[in-house]
């Protein structure tokens, strides 16, 4: 029996959702470059779930459904009041919040395709509100209701910040959501599929996926990147800092990616957004530091930046708390998780791999008096 550490290179499923071929990423056949430059996140959610882009009428109705379902159950708001929001990592709060959303959804265990579609809308809508609400509550601020005239991206920034949102921020945030929406069988998506392959419900699958995304080797990378940039502080300290990290054999977060050889095709879009946003607030140093590090690591180690690297400075420039970076990743990736779980349901087989045993053999049990 052959093994592959981390399942690297192992094909475990067929999918018609997302492809990564020759370092090119596409959702249902649409290039990530095309979608990042032109599509609303709502269009991408619809595409992933329905395998086609919506027409104008379909998009209007879909957006209306999302906005209508953004209001959180009163019970969840009450639970937030009992949580230690100031001292608990937002990913732990979000994991718990999604699980509780399942508790208060009367259709949670109804497994028809129609019920799952309704739950999908509720989950995608309410995960945005949950992140914005607990962020405001821990600052002692009142929650802000969604605006039915706003897009998904603008609504999130509106509910989070409570102020007139700059169009450049909306553009950047929408682009980030599109870029993070799906990425084939990454760790969290595989976790979600394993979970629902037991015929568990969508809320359980999302909760499991959030647990996987929480780790710094997956979704937590962009939070580690901004921590690194903050420690560096100034552009002229960037290279000496990285040289010291490399000398100490420490990992530089946000660089390289297991499935790409020549570079992450998503990174260039957030790099440009980082450049524009840091210039807008007069803090170009965050972009310049990032660019210096990217060029140095690419030359020294052959590792280009991945999607997490420039999302860090982009989100920072929007005034978003650093510990919300990974929950925002989860908010976007929920669209892909749901698409994969719906696909798993359609052609399900319990995911149950084997392991090669390498431990001792032929031990004989001894009574405790003889051990």
| 79 belongs to the catalytic site | no
Q: 199 by DSSP, 3-state: which? A: coil
Token pair for 149: 């005239």
What end-to-end distance do the CA atoms of the chain give, in Å? 35
Q: How far apart are CA 328 and CA 128, in angstroms?
A: 8
Marked catalytic residue, from 158, 180, 257, 316:
257
Q: 24 by DSSP, 3-state: which? A: strand
For 37-92, the DSSP string reads: HH--HHHHHHHHHHSS---HHHHHHHHHHHHHT-SPPHHHHHHHHHS-TTTS-HHH
Q: How far apart are CA 216 and CA 115, in angstroms?
A: 34
| CA nearest neighbour of 183 among 81, 76, 265, 84 | 265
Contacts of 305 (CB under 8 A, 6+ apart): 254, 255, 263, 264, 267, 271, 290, 294, 297, 298
Marked catalytic residue, from 180, 201, 308, 316:
308
| 316 belongs to the catalytic site | no
Q: How far apart are CA 17 and CA 171, in angstroms?
A: 24
HSE, CB side, 13 Å, CA atoms: give it for residue 161.
17
CA distances from 216 to 178, 213, 341 (A): 21, 8, 24
Q: How far apart are CA 111 and CA 196, in angstroms?
A: 11
Q: 124 by DSSP, 3-state: which? A: helix
Token pair for 60: 């209007």
Residues labelled catalytic: 257, 308
């Amino acid at each position: 029996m052959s093994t592959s550490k981390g399942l690297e290179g192992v094909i475990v499923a067929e999918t018609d959702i997302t492809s990564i071929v020759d370092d090119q990423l596409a959702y249902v056949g649409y290039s990530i470059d095309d979608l990042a430059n032109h599509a609303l996140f709502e269009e991408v959610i619809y595409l992933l779930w329905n395998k086609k882009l919506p027409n104008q009428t379909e998009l209007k109705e879909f957006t209306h459904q999302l906005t209508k379902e953004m209001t959180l159950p009163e019970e969840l708001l009450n639970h937030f009041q009992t949580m230690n929001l100031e001292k608990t990592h937002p990913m732990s709060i979000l994991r718990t919040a999604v699980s509780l959303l399942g508790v208060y959804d009367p259709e949670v265990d109804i497994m028809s395709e129609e019920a799952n579609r309704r739950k999908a809308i509720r989950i995608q809508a309410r995960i945005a509100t949950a992140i914005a609400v607990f962020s405001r509550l821990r600052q002692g601020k009142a929650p802000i209701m969604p605006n039915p005239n706003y897009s998904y991206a603008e609504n999130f920034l509106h509910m989070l910040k409570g102020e007139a949102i700059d169009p450049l921020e909306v553009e950047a945030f929408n682009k980030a959501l599109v870029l993070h929406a799906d990425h084939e069988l990454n760790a969290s998506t595989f976790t979600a599929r394993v979970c629902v392959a037991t015929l568990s419900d969508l809320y359980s699958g999302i909760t499991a996926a959030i647990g996987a995304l929480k780790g710094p080797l997956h979704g937590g990378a962009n939070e580690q990147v901004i921590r690194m940039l903050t420690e560096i502080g100034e552009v002229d300290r960037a290279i000496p800092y990285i040289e010291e990290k490399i000398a100490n054999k420490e990992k530089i977060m946000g660089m390289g990616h297991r499935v790409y050889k020549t570079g992450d095709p998503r990174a260039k879009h957030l790099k440009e957004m980082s450049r524009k946003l840091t210039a807008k607030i007069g803090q170009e140093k965050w972009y310049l530091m990032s660019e210096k590090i990217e060029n140095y690591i690419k030359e020294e180690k052959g590792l280009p930046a991945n999607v997490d690297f420039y999302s860090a400075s982009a989100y920072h420039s929007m005034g978003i708390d650093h510990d919300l970076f990974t929950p925002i990743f989860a908010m976007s990736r929920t669209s892909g998780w749901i698409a994969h779980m719906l696909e798993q349901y359609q052609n399900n087989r319990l995911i149950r791999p084997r392991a090669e045993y390498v431990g001792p053999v032929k031990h004989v049990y001894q009574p405790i008096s003889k051990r």
